């Protein structure tokens, strides 16, 4: 899966420095030549390495049984807006899901040279460029320290601002693109990522696996882990990704307060 993500990243970077074609999807989100080239490489690679396993990608899907218990979730270019802004904060996301749970995940940021990968029960790692892989571990949060909130560069808006206003502790906020927000928590560089805007299953599954392997969690606002499946809605519910369970309690409480105020 890591090798396939690398190959997709090469296709993306071949387009990155050029003025490639850009289209608009039915939901008004952008689609680039890089999305399609990366998707083709990933589908070919997965079908060769894992014959018969269903692949659901943002840009395509396998023919055949869409009720499979185990399948791949793929976003060939997560953060297309970041790609178009040329800020480097876009990723290739590949997740293997079984019985609703991401059991293996790869997140590759080709412009940054950052590779994150994990598997259920095996752990999670990050490799920067050609350096040796490092084990991922979330950071414990101390209530006496500011909570490090990370959020989207392109989504969130009023809901996120209202949520931040309800926090009962000191906090800092930094924006990041794509699934890198999960990865920054897995690295211990952030504490919480509240998501109130729409996301799809392929946006979160790979990084969800990475964060859980590092000791974190991705939960809906009722406190249940996000679930994935071919028979489930493609859009995720609102969620909170955290490194420390203490942060989760503060995050859900703040969301409840926010709803009461609005």
CATH topology of domain 147-261: D-Maltodextrin-Binding Protein; domain 2 (3.40.190)
Model confidence over 3-51: pLDDT tens digits? Answer: 999 999 999 999 887 765 565 555 546 678 899 999 999 999 999 999 9
SS (H, E, C) the chain: CHHHHHHHHHHHHHHHCCCCCEEECCCCCEEEHHHHHHHHHHHHHHHHHCCCCEEEECCCECCCCCCCCEEEEEEEEECHHHHHHCCCCCEEEEEEEECCEEEEEEEEECCCCEEEEEECCCEEEEEECCCCCEECCCCCCCCCCCEEEEEECCCCHHHHHHHHHHCCCCEEEEEECCCHHHHHHHCCCCCEEEECCCCEHHHHHHHHHHHHHCCCEEEECCCCECCCCCCCCCECCCEEEECCHHHHHHHHHHHHHHHHHC
The per-residue pLDDT for 248 is 64
The per-residue pLDDT for 68 is 79
Is 39 labelled as part of a ligand binding site? Answer: no
The per-residue pLDDT for 249 is 59
Q: Domain 2-135 is of which CATH architecture?
A: 2-Layer Sandwich (3.30)
The per-residue pLDDT for 261 is 39
Is 262 labelled as part of a ligand binding site? Answer: no
Is 58 labelled as part of a ligand binding site? Answer: yes
Low-confidence ranges of the chain (pLDDT < 50): 28, 256-262
The per-residue pLDDT for 23 is 57
Is 75 labelled as part of a ligand binding site? Answer: yes
- Domain boundary assignment for the chain: 2-135, 147-261
The per-residue pLDDT for 27 is 55
The per-residue pLDDT for 259 is 45
Is 78 labelled as part of a ligand binding site? Answer: yes
The per-residue pLDDT for 25 is 58
Is 35 labelled as part of a ligand binding site? Answer: no
The per-residue pLDDT for 254 is 52
């Amino acid at each position: 899966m890591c090798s396939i993500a690398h190959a997709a990243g090469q296709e993306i970077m071949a387009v990155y420095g050029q003025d490639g074609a850009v289209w608009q999807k039915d939901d008004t989100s952008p689609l680039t030549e890089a999305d399609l080239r990366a998707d083709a490489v990933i589908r070919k690679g997965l079908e060769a390495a894992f014959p018969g396993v269903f692949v659901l990608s943002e840009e395509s899907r396998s023919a055949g049984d869409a009720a499979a218990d185990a399948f791949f979730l793929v976003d060939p270019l997560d953060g297309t807006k970041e790609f178009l802004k040329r800020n480097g904060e876009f990723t290739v996301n590949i997740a293997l899901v079984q019985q609703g749970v991401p059991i293996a995940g790869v997140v590759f940021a080709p412009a940054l040279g950052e590779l994150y990968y994990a598997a259920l029960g095996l752990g999670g790692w990050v490799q920067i460029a050609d350096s040796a892989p490092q084990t991922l571990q979330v950071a414990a949060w101390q209530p006496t320290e500011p909570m490090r909130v990370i959020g989207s560069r392109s989504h969130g808006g009023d809901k996120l601002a209202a949520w931040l206003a309800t926090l009962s502790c000191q906090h800092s906020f930094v924006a990041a693109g794509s699934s890198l927000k999960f990865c920054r928590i897995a690295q211990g560089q952030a504490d919480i990522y509240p998501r109130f805007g729409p996301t799809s299953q392929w946006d979160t599954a790979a990084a969800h696996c990475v964060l859980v392997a590092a000791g974190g969690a991705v939960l809906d606002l009722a406190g249940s882990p996000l679930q994935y499946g071919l028979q489930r809605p493609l859009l995720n519910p609102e969620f909170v990704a955290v490194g420390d369970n203490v942060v989760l309690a503060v995050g859900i409480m703040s969301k409840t307060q926010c709803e009461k105020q609005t």
